[in-house]
């Protein structure tokens, strides 16, 4: 019978959707004995999973609960097949992105500060904020207290499954969409990354949702930030190193742009880092994917892959194919 190692921290009720006819083996980083398993679902906390690995014997297939699998190949080596949980983060990350955009356009940081002060009349600070950040000198009447998403131009940098989910959630706001990705496409129009600098000045909102790799690291540097419009919003729902942190701190401190980050570089962001206190910035501590739906959704992806493995069908989300031990 196939033996499946799963994180001992996951409650039994979440394992219902796994195929019948397998033996479930709880795996913990505190085990004092070796265990023999065929397939391993590692703990989503990489440190815990890496501590458990030396006790595992016979692993042929790793099914990650996450989209990112950075630590796995170096730990398990080349003779193991690795699949990620493609799709498990789409909804939660896209929802975080919508939240970040709307919260910034509606000046929630200012209003939560006003709420804490208990002074209703401070709402007029919003008008001054609008004039300053957008550099819109037109007298508005009544006073502007927040901005609209409807009708804005959004540049998606990255157009995988999560990027497309973000576009779907933006649809009711009739935004003008611009798209950039590694692979250019005709329908809908997706521009190659080489056109990023040309498109940046057109967008009021720039959303980063692309994988971290040697091509994307540092993609948003001093030059790209300088090409963004006055008051434009940079949203990083991807990985911290895609943005040059020093350049971002400078752009924020000068009042040129706004930003919302669920990821940072370095991460965790250490106490006292200048990014924490930049103006016009929302930081959430890498929480975009962590909802109550994550565990069941992620395990459904794993269960589907496991079923294919047991039936000898091709796997869907292979990020590393095993190299034969005895070729």
Residue span binding its own copies (CB under 8 A) among the ranges 28-36, 141-149, 217-225, 249-257: 141-149
* Nearest to its own copies of 89, 256 (CB atom): 89
As a whole number of angstroms, the distance between CA 158 and CA 180 comes to 6
Determine if 243 is a binding residue for its own copies (CB under 8 A): no
Determine if 171 is a binding residue for its own copies (CB under 8 A): yes
Determine if 109 is a binding residue for its own copies (CB under 8 A): yes
Determine if 22 is a binding residue for its own copies (CB under 8 A): no
Q: Mark whether 267 is an active-site residue.
A: yes
Q: Mark whether 286 is an active-site residue.
A: yes
Q: Mark whether 273 is an active-site residue.
A: no
* Nearest to its own copies of 282, 318 (CB atom): 282
Q: How far is the CB of 34 from its own copies (least distance, A)?
A: 23
Q: With beta carbons less than 8 A apart as the criterion, state whether 149 and 175 touch.
A: yes
DSSP string, 291-302: STTHHHHHHHHH
As a whole number of angstroms, the distance between CA 222 and CA 269 comes to 20
Single residue of 2, 173, 212, 304 touching its own copies by CB under 8 A: 173
Determine if 40 is a binding residue for its own copies (CB under 8 A): no
Which strands, in side-by-side order, build the sheet including 281-283? 191-192, 176-181, 153-157, 205-208, 233-236, 258-261, 281-283
Task: Enumerate the H helices of 205-313 as residue ranges.
Answer: 222-227, 245-253, 294-310
End-to-end alpha carbon distance in the chain = 26
* Nearest to its own copies of 125, 304 (CB atom): 125
Determine if 126 is a binding residue for its own copies (CB under 8 A): yes
Single residue of 16, 32, 33, 139 touching its own copies by CB under 8 A: 139
- Local structure of residue 25 (DSSP, 8 states): E
Active-site residue identified among 122, 123, 267, 273: 267
Determine if 71 is a binding residue for its own copies (CB under 8 A): no
Nearest to 40 by CA among 14, 58, 18: 58
The three-state secondary structure class of 163 is helix
Q: How far is the CB of 5 from its own copies (least distance, A)?
A: 15
Determine if 102 is a binding residue for its own copies (CB under 8 A): yes
Q: At a CB cut-off of 8 Å and minimum separation 6, what does 134 contact?
A: 147, 230, 231
As a whole number of angstroms, the distance between CA 294 and CA 66 comes to 9
Q: Which of residues 262-321 bind its own copies (CB under 8 A)?
A: 267-273, 276-277, 281-287, 290-295
Determine if 194 is a binding residue for its own copies (CB under 8 A): no
Question: Count of residues binding its own copies (CB under 8 A)?
Answer: 76
* Nearest to its own copies of 98, 217 (CB atom): 98
**Residue positions annotated with a catalytic role:** 239, 267, 286
């Amino acid at each position: 019978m196939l033996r499946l190692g799963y994180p001992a921290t996951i409650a039994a009720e979440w394992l219902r959707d796994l195929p019948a006819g397998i033996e479930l083996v709880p795996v913990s980083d505190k085990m004092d004995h070796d265990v023999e398993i065929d397939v391993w679902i590692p703990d989503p906390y990489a440190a815990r999973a890496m501590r458990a690995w030396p006790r595992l014997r016979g692993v042929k297939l790793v099914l990650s609960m996450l989209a990112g699998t950075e630590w796995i190949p170096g730990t398990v080596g080349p003779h193991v097949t690795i699949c990620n949980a493609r799709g498990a983060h789409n909804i939660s990350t896209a929802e975080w992105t919508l939240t970040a955009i709307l919260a910034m356009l509606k000046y929630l940081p200012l209003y939560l500060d006003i709420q804490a002060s208990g002074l209703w009349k401070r709402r007029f600070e919003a008008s001054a904020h609008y004039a300053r950040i957008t550099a819109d000198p037109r007298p508005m009447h009544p006073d502007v207290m927040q901005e609209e998403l409807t009708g804005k131009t959004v540049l998606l940098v990255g157009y995988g499954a999560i990027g497309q989910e973000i576009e779907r959630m933006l649809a009711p706001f009739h935004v003008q969409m611009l798209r950039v990705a590694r692979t250019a496409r005709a329908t809908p129009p997706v521009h190659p990354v080489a056109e990023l600098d040309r498109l940046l000045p057109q967008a009021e909102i720039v959303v980063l949702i692309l994988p971290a790799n040697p091509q994307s690291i540092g993609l948003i540097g001093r030059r790209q930030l300088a090409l963004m419009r006055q008051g434009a919003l940079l949203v990083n729902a991807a990985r911290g190193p895609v943005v040059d942190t020093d350049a971002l701190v400078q752009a924020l401190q000068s009042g040129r742009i706004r930003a919302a980050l669920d990821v940072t570089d370095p991460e965790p962001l250490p106490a006292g880092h200048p990014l924490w206190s930049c103006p016009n910035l929302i930081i959430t501590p890498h929480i975009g994917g962590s909802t109550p739906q994550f565990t069941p959704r992620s395990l459904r992806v794993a269960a589907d892959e496991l079923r294919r493995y047991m039936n000898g069908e091709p796997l869907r989300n292979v990020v590393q194919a095993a190299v034969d031990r005895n070729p």
